[in-house]
A and B are shown apart, each in its own frame.
Chain A
Amino acid sequence: DAGVTQSPTHLIKTRGQQVTLRCSPKSGHDTVSWYQQALGQGPQFIFQYYEEEERQRGNFPDRFSGHQFPNYSSELNVNALLLGDSALYLCASSLLQGGIGSPLHFGNGTRLTVT
């Protein structure tokens, strides 16, 4: 049973560029959340997708956008990259019907470095 998979594992971009990160949820899961984890910090919620729509959004600018596909996989896009966007980006999946106590299953993340 495949868990949450993310690609790529590492990425180096230049300021001003755009980046797309990809995530495949755990088999059977229908909800995907994205988190940003800066060095030495806890993960911060970016947004959550369910049924191909953004369900909730954290305190991130519009430069951060996402998409969910019919097969439940998801993409995170970041435009006009800033040095401060350097972080580990984590994708987490869950089953909506699991309820509020349903734990998130995390991928290993994509390490983005902006130079």
Chain B
Amino acid sequence: EVQLVESGGGFVQPGGSLRLSCAASGFAFSSYWMIWVRQAPGKGLEWVADIKPDGAERHYLDSVKGRFTVSRDNAKNSLYLQMYSLRAEDTAVYYCATGAWFGEHWGQGTLVTVSS
């Protein structure tokens, strides 16, 4: 059974940093593209970033370019999202999901709150 478990969310002040993790199990993690999608409270879904199985290719939402970095450790079956210079508008539940284009399997999400 595919399992994705996000962690690392929390409360951070504007300008702060946070590192999200996504622990994967139940599938060949090293063979899959992975994505991060976020959802602000009461709002819709927003695609944030993706990463190729070998980590050699990554894409980002324009508003997070230069502030967020997606990475992975295939030996640890883990996906990461390093977030810097956080803004209030980054407040959201962050989901990791499998898939090159669309999200096939999703984690339960981790909440990031950016506020002073």
A binds B: no
Which A residues are closer than 8 A to B by beta carbons?
A: none
Which B residues are closer than 8 A to A by beta carbons?
A: none
